[in-house]
Amino acid sequence: MKEFSSVLVLISYAYLVDSSPSPSSSSLSSSDTTHVRPPFPVVKITFDHVSNVFGICLWILLGILAKIVFHLSHRLTKKFPENCLLIILGIIVGVLLYITHLEEEKRIYILNSDIFFLFLLPPIVLETGYFLPKRAFFDNLGTILLLAVLNKLFNTMCIGLTIWAFGKTTLYGGTQFDLLECLLFASFITAVDPIAVLATFVEIRVNDTLYIVVFGESLLNDAVTIVLYRMFESFLTIGQDNLIPMDFFLGFVSFFVVTIGGIVIGIIFGFMAVFMTKFTERTPVLEPLVVFIYAYIAYIIAEMTGLSGILAITICGMMMKQYVEYNITKKSMATIEYVLKMASSIMETIIFMFMGLTTVSEQQTWNTGFVIVTLLSCLIYRAIGVALFANLANIRRLVELTRIDMLIMSYGGLRGALAFALALVLDENLAPRRKEFITASTVVVLFTVFIQGTTLGPLVKLLNVRRKQIEEPTMSATLTNRMMDHVMTCLEDVAGIAGANSLRNKYNKFDHNYMKKWLLREQPQEKLDLRLWQTFRNIDLQTAIKLHEEVPGAKQITTSQLPKSQTLLAVVNPSTTNSRKASIISTILTKPDDIIIIPPTNNEVVSLTKPEDIKNFLDANMFDTHRRASIYVRGQDEIEKDEDLDPTIIHILQPSAIIDSPNYMLEQSTDNLPRQRKNRSDSTATNQLPSNDIDKCRF
Amino acid sequence: MKEFSSVLVLISYAYLVDSSPSPSSSSLSSSDTTHVRPPFPVVKITFDHVSNVFGICLWILLGILAKIVFHLSHRLTKKFPENCLLIILGIIVGVLLYITHLEEEKRIYILNSDIFFLFLLPPIVLETGYFLPKRAFFDNLGTILLLAVLNKLFNTMCIGLTIWAFGKTTLYGGTQFDLLECLLFASFITAVDPIAVLATFVEIRVNDTLYIVVFGESLLNDAVTIVLYRMFESFLTIGQDNLIPMDFFLGFVSFFVVTIGGIVIGIIFGFMAVFMTKFTERTPVLEPLVVFIYAYIAYIIAEMTGLSGILAITICGMMMKQYVEYNITKKSMATIEYVLKMASSIMETIIFMFMGLTTVSEQQTWNTGFVIVTLLSCLIYRAIGVALFANLANIRRLVELTRIDMLIMSYGGLRGALAFALALVLDENLAPRRKEFITASTVVVLFTVFIQGTTLGPLVKLLNVRRKQIEEPTMSATLTNRMMDHVMTCLEDVAGIAGANSLRNKYNKFDHNYMKKWLLREQPQEKLDLRLWQTFRNIDLQTAIKLHEEVPGAKQITTSQLPKSQTLLAVVNPSTTNSRKASIISTILTKPDDIIIIPPTNNEVVSLTKPEDIKNFLDANMFDTHRRASIYVRGQDEIEKDEDLDPTIIHILQPSAIIDSPNYMLEQSTDNLPRQRKNRSDSTATNQLPSNDIDKCRF
């Protein structure tokens, strides 16, 4: 039934596609040259001016269909990862197009590098940047940089030289390769692909460190790839004999220009986007668009100026995520997240389908020796490089990477559409062996995605690699983590080292003193913390119900302790607080606006009359550090879990419950606050919150 | 400060735009022809392949900026409607582009008819179709059709002939106009523009009938405009002398083909989209995309085959809205609505800006006589036509249109981008007076948008036209309306007339028996009605709290009536129900799954153990008719009001309250059910629900 529906839709489309481009008998576009009297056109078919858009729509539709069908049949997706199935589908479509001789129309359907870089890549990278677990990323930044930069350079040089050296033998059937050409090829065949890594690692759910190291590497090596690719391209343009040392120096300089330029553009546009959302109070529907358009412009400007667009849009997304949620409405926030997931999901689907299609449609030259040498050197040097630089990274790491980690890291270095797209862009004048390169890239990409991608999951299971923790860390773990941060910062201060912890401390101060003041509509403290209040409210209600459910005799005692007069506002009996000594907060949370506090008789008792005061009090006493962020895992099921909190229920439920132990209140609030702050600092955690999270707060 | 920010952004962009296209000294794209050694490019600027996308991004950004700034300064928007300000901004940008001699780049920035019809129009029309108040629309369909078809024909003929007749005098300075040319011009200058009508009427908030009649006319006359435009174009191609009667007949036929074709395409794709969402349970992120892509494909296919794209996408949107919300998740639903509002809002902004820009940039020929004759005949014939056909419609209308209504209807027939875009598409070979036509269209559009648009609001106030009711209709009004529907259906049945009411009744039966079965994942009855349950739950809780708050003596009596053993599940004391006679439902709503019902001792008592049973019981007793749908009014503030209901609170709150009057329960349920159903049948009403709606249910 389900398959039938999709087949039905496909057939109806195929019919439409087939019939539309053919010049219908009734169509006639004002051909005044013929002397035959043109008939009156009842129906006028014009395909040309919509063919591009129509083609894109059909691809999107095919992508949606494919995803739906794959997800419906569990048997398929259990055996093969989704991206493999999509590549196979692309190959089938390619073969069909070839058989039906639609080659002339085909040109708009193949993976064009402009389409890839302008439309398909940005949404995916923006989504990953937006949902990037910042803490984990920055904690592992050293390792990531080692892998993304040095390992990448090492790999490029080794692979390039190896391929070139084997070219001197007869292994390639006499085909000669230029050294620069080989290095150019190596520069993109070593590019670990963020899309392939994401698609594979998300399904496997390895632990946070492993995931962020491989994924961070794939994000950051884009800059290095671009620099190396463009450098070798320029060297080829200049000609091997004309090269002077200055060129190498400029190539070295351009690495920093591309990287730092990309980061700066990302920060500037992120800043502008957040700043703009400061003023969207009266135009909330436009808020998601502000986020999307600034991120996209950052990407385009970076691409236009030859800087790293991937870095720019990643940084821009991270920056916006950090601040934008304080300014915009909850609905806008939800829409941004949903649309990002939607766009990246469909773009990913299309990329993999395109890859399959291009494999068939692009002209290729098969060279067995060359393909084998490329594939083997990719695998071997990846393993060597990862082992080398991971061990180097271990010198400075607190939690060392184990050998199994390294194995997974090297095995998980999947190549994907990025390498493929760069191979397609190659200029045949510069690289006469372009067709061999495309074939080799295809083989490497398919090998990594199919063989490595499908076996990575079983391998992780076999080696018993620590998986991602699904459940929330306990309260005590969170507190311990935060305390450890303090201790580390303190130790660094004492030792006089400017380590990661004191840097983070400094950034937090800067963030609080300047960034938030410039960028946010209102300071975050003043913003009402709905989840916190709702939890309190629920506790109140439960208390009321519990009291009510108890045996009437017991209840009578409880209620008799209270003054009888209040109906809407509940108060705490001063006599109980009176008898205690200090630091006991006695608030009854009725509504944010009308909290009633009984002024304590002795000054030692802390009085907190407003929500902000409570938060400030807790902030002051607990100091501001961040919990270790958990990894964001992309997946559709999580969207459902992220249930909104409904502010209306605060209004619905009458404020009339009584907490008779003030101590209990304080406990509850400290328990809730870090939870809440965590949700603020990275909503990745929010995504993983099980929907009945608040249930845990029950007592 | 706010203006500063936007200026800052603009300047930074202007800088980027200015610097990018100029061939930078460091940029050098492999020019092998020169023998000078090319330097190593540290930064490589390539503007060409992104210029289109970049231009679009800048326009979107400018649109967002303009909207934000206009909404921030209340003084401006109070005096001028937003669309006027946007046109002025467009004119300013056009003048700036002209002064700075960016004419060569200009081409990508002007209102290209392809861009208009392919990208700008569809989101707006989809949004209006999606949120169209179906009941009001179909109730007034007769009037709308009279205005959209016959009035349109009448206007086209009269204006065409008038312009042609005046051409025989010396009023146009000797310029001669062909009759067919005049009719071609009249065919699009009479097109009432949905975008302009929406933008103006939304701000004024006239009553439902007036709004839907004018807006419905603007939507439906698109088909007639297309047919007439293409017919006269074909007649011109054929040549005035070669025309045979068959051509007129074919033109008449093509009207039906275009209209019915558009509707059929809309229905087919709407059906396919809803059918597809049946299977998206495991891929919920793709659901919004399914809705968007099918609607867009429907539009494109209709445009491609020369059918009415506007009709197709409107019908598709209406169709999807009707069923899709049963299948997809709440988050997807919210995203669809938010994204539609966002897209249509920005597209509308861009269209008005483009219109201003094109006014300046397009080559025009001013002909005072022609412009005056066009403008006057547009105004006069509009008034005559509306008076004529509204009186004709009044014969069959229950609620007659007053003279004031007719005045507003004729005054509110604004022309906009549609007429303008069609003028721009004109082929100069067919219509040698194209430039005069563009000028006259510009004047008419600007006159209607500026003069009529700005004075419509004051006029409505002056004439004391009935405004839109903001508050919800009362329970009794809703019930009376529904009862009236029954009476009308009944009367029609008795009289043997197949009127609107029995037609609706038949459609509802068809809808229930076939459409819903084919299209929905599960029948709507089985779907848990969260709002209903939540309200019950809140009532339970409030009862618990109230009981608790009462004086202990009274409480003791209440609780002593109940059995003591239950902690989680509350029951109704059978003794109270026992003493009553019939039709008293005693359920305690704990969770949807575990409702406990005390089996009644005598069979006369209705037992409803499941939510479906309760709904079915009420359905059976109240019969299924629809309340008169209130008009959907687009506006951003409403989005905030539409707060989601949080299903988690059902889990959070322990089921432990007791209702001791079963009668009360029944009252509450009948009170809530129509409310709920109304939310189902048109969520336009949901949008208007004040956020504290449920507060009303307090007792």
Q: Which residues contact A520 (CB under 8 A, 6 or more apart)?
A: A278, A323, A326, A327
ipTM for this prediction:
0.71
**Residue A205 amino acid letter:** R
- Residues forming a β-bridge with A597: A587
Burial class, A686, CB count within 10 angstroms (exposed 0-12 / middle 13-18 / buried 19+): middle
CA B119, CA A50: separation in Å to the nearest integer?
11
Q: What is the pLDDT of residue A384?
A: 93
**Cα→Cα distances B696→B129, B530, B690, B693, Å:** 31, 17, 10, 6
Residue of B nearest to A245 (CA): B40
Higher pLDDT, A604 or B431: B431
CB atoms A342 and B334 under 8 Å: no
A39, A237, A545 member nearest B656 (Cβ): A545
Residue type, B695: D
Nearest to A290 among B64, B427, B564 (CB): B64
Q: Where are the alpha helices (DSSP H) in A73-139?
A: 74-79, 82-99, 103-106, 113-115, 121-130, 134-139
The tokens describing B610, both together, are 């499941």
| A111 vs A361: CA distance, rounded Å | 10
Closest CA to B183 of B210, B208, B164: B164
Does the CA dihedral A394-A399-A403-A407 come out positive or negative?
negative
Q: What is the pLDDT of residues A473-527, one digit of tens each?
A: 666 777 787 788 888 888 877 887 767 777 777 888 888 788 887 888 776 554 4
Q: What is the pLDDT of residue A343?
A: 93
Interatomic CA distance for residues B341 and B325, integer angstroms: 17
Q: Do B42 and A250 touch (CB under 8 A)?
A: yes
What gap in Å lies between CA A555 and CA A29, rounded to an integer? 88
State residue B151's pLDDT score: 92
The answer to whether A42 contacts chain B (CB < 8 Å) is yes
What's the rounded Cα separation, in Å, for the pair A71 and A65?
Answer: 10
Segment B632-684, tens digit of pLDDT: 444 434 433 334 434 433 333 333 333 333 443 433 443 443 434 334 444 33
Would you call B366 an interface residue with chain A, using a CB distance cutoff of 8 Å?
no
Say how far residue B35 (Cα) sits from the centre of its chain: 62
Residues 508-547 of A with CB under 8 A from B: 538, 541-542, 544-545, 547
Higher pLDDT, A470 or B25: A470
Report yes or no: A554 and A666 within 8 Å, Cβ to Cβ.
Answer: no
Using only the alpha carbons of chain A, give its radius of gyration: 30
Asked if the C-beta of B640 comes within 8 angstroms of chain A's C-beta atoms, the answer is yes
Total residues found in chain B within this entry:
699
| Tokens representing residue A147 in the block | 């892998």
Closest CA relative to residue B147, chosen from B203, B83, B209: B209
Question: What pairs with residue B597 in β-bridges?
Answer: B587
Burial of A402 (0-12, 13-18, 19+ CB in 10 A): middle
**CATH classification of B113-463, choosing from 3.40.50.720, 1.10.630.10, 1.20.1530.20, 1.20.1600.10?**
1.20.1530.20
| Per-residue pLDDT at B295 exceeds 60 | yes
CA distances to A233, A242, A246, B39, B455 from A238, in Å? 9, 6, 12, 8, 68
Chain A interface test: which of B37, B65, B68, B296 (most A C-beta within 10 Å) = B68
Chain B residues touching A61 at Cβ < 8 A: 293-294, 297
Under an 8 A CB cutoff, do A653 and B541 touch? yes
Q: pTM of the predicted model, to two decimals?
A: 0.72
Dump pLDDT digits (tens) for B127-175.
Answer: 988 988 888 888 888 899 999 989 999 999 999 999 999 888 888 877 7
| Mutation for testing the B interface, residue in A112, A267, A305 having most B CBs under 10 Å | A305
CA distance A520 to chain B (A): 13
What's the rounded Cα separation, in Å, for the pair B324 and B520? 8
Chain B contact for A113 (CB, 8 A cutoff):
no
Nearest CB partner across the interface for A57, out of B254, B293, B556? B293
Tokens found for residue B401: 């249109």
% residues pLDDT > 90 (chain B)? 16
pLDDT tens, A165-205? 988 888 887 777 888 889 999 999 998 888 888 778 877 77
C-alpha A246/C-alpha A232 separation (Å) is: 14
Cβ distance B30 to A54 less than 8 Å, yes or no, reads: no
CB of A2 within 8 Å of any CB in chain B? yes
Contact across the interface for A57 and B5, Cβ inside 8 Å: no
Asked whether residue A128 carries a pLDDT value surpassing 90, the answer given is: no
pLDDT band at B111 (very low <50, low <70, confident <90, very high): low
Most confident of the following: A147-156, A566-575, B3-12 = A147-156
For A47, the closest chain B residue by CA position comes to B304
- Confidence grade of residue A367 (pLDDT, cut at 50, 70, 90): confident
**CA–CA–CA angle B508, B510, B516 (5° rounding):** 90
- CA–CA separation, B148 and B386 (whole Å): 10
User: What does the mean pLDDT of chain A come to?
Assistant: 72
User: Does any CB of chain B come closer than 8 Å to the CB of residue A19?
Assistant: no
Task: Please say whether the dihedral angle defined by the alpha carbons of residues B615, B616, B619 and B620, taken in this order, is positive or negative.
Answer: negative
**The three-state (H, E, C) secondary structure of B60-127, written as one string:** HHHHHHHHHHHHHCHHHHHHCCHHHHHHHHHHHHHHHHHHCCCHHHHCCCCCCHHHHHHHHHHHHHHH
Do B235 and B243 meet the contact criterion of CB atoms below 8 Å apart?
yes
Reported residue count of chain A is 699
* Burial class, B76, CB count within 10 angstroms (exposed 0-12 / middle 13-18 / buried 19+): middle
- Closest residue on chain A to B235 (Cα): A40
Helix (H) or strand (E) holding A596: strand A596-597
The predicted pLDDT at position A629 comes to 36
Closest CA to A206 of A460, A393, A458: A460
The answer to which of A227-241, A384-398, B100-114, B431-445 has the lowest mean pLDDT is B100-114
Q: How confident is the model at residue A400 (pLDDT cuts 50, 70, 90)?
A: confident
Interface membership of A430 toward B (CB under 8 Å): yes
The two three-digit tokens of residue B249, written as one number: 């007949």
Distance from CA of A281 to the nearest CA of B (A): 9
DSSP result, B339-390: HHHHHHHHHHHHHHHHHHHHHHHS-----HHHHHHHHHHHHHHHHHHHHHHH
Residue B552 with chain A: CB contacts under 8 Å:
555-556, 559-560
Smallest CA-to-CA distance from A177 within A21, A370, A46 is with: A370
551-590 of B, contacting A, C-beta below 8 A = 551-552, 555-556, 559-560, 564, 567
Contact at CB, B653 and A541, closer than 8 angstroms: yes
**Which residues from chain B sit within 8 angstroms of residue A58, using beta carbons?**
297
Nearest chain A residue to B30 by CA: give it: A237
| Contact (CB, 8 A) for A679 and A333 | no
For residue A597, what is the enclosing H or E element?
strand A596-597
From A374-383, B65-74, B216-225, B562-571, the region with the lowest mean pLDDT: B562-571
Q: Which chain A residue is nearest to residue B65, measuring alpha carbons?
A: A276
A378: part of which helix (H) or strand (E)? Answer: helix A368-394
B30 contacts in chain A (CB < 8 Å): 237, 427, 429-430
Q: Which residue has the higher pLDDT, A174 or A380?
A: A380
Mean pLDDT value of segment B316-327: 90
Residue A628 pLDDT > 60: no
Verify whether the Cβ–Cβ distance A339 to B334 is below 8 Å: no
Per-residue DSSP letters for A194-216? HHHHHHHHHHH-B-HHHHHHHHH
Cβ of residue B168 closer than 8 Å to a chain A Cβ:
no
Q: How far is A628 from chain B (nearest CA, A)?
A: 27
| Stretch 648-687 of chain B: residues touching chain A, C-beta under 8 Å | 648-649, 651-654, 656-657
pLDDT for position A543:
81
Distance, first Cα to last Cα, chain A: 48
C-alpha to C-alpha distance for A457 and A455, rounded to whole angstroms: 5
Give A121's contacts in chain B (Cβ within 8 Å). none
Q: Compute φ and ψ for B551, nearest 5 degrees.
A: -60, 140
Q: Where are the domains of chain A?
A: 113-463, 484-522
CA distances from A377 to A371, A435, B461 (A): 10, 19, 80
Which of the two residues, A624 and A208, has the higher pLDDT score? Answer: A208
Q: Which of residues 302-331 of B touch A (CB under 8 A)?
A: 303-307, 329, 331
Mean pLDDT computed over A420-446: 86
CB contact under 8 A, B331 and A284: no
Contact B209, B140 (CB under 8 A): yes
| Average pLDDT rounded to a whole number, residues A542-564 | 56
Interface contact B430-A290, CB threshold 8 A: no
Q: For the purposes of burial, counting CB atoms within 10 Å of the CB of B16, is it exposed (0-12), middle (13-18) or buried (19 or more)?
A: middle
> Under an 8 A CB cutoff, do A45 and B305 touch?
yes
Min CA distance, B188 vs chain A (Å)? Answer: 18
Nearest Cα residue in chain A from B271? A9
Give B186's pLDDT tier (boundaries 50, 70, 90): very high
Percent of chain A with pLDDT over 70: 67
- Partners of A336 on chain B (C-beta within 8 Å) are none
DSSP 8-class letter at A395: T
- Residue pLDDT, tens place only, A598-614: 444 444 334 455 556 65
8 Å CB contact of A42 and B250: yes
DSSP-assigned beta bridge partners for residue A2 = none
Chain A residues in contact with B431 by the CB 8 A cut-off are none
Pairs of residues, one from chain A and one from chain B, whose beta carbons lie less than 8 Å apart: 344
The residue among A2, A534, A652, A660 with the most chain B CBs within 10 A of its CB, best to mutate, is A652
Give contacts of B223 with chain A, Cβ < 8 Å: none
- Residue B208: its pLDDT value, please? 79
Q: Among partner residues A9, A50, A285, which is closest to B341 by beta-carbon distance?
A: A285
Question: Using the 8-state DSSP alphabet, how is residue B657 labeled?
Answer: -
- Residue B285 sits at the chain A interface (C-beta within 8 Å): yes
Structure tokens at B436: 């005069």
| Most confident of the ranges A269-273, B543-547, B586-590 | A269-273
Tell me the two tokens of residue A99. Answer: 């058989």
Task: With cut-offs at 50, 70 and 90, classify the pLDDT of residue A556.
Answer: very low
- Residues of chain B contacting residue A694, judged by C-beta atoms under 8 Å apart: 648, 652
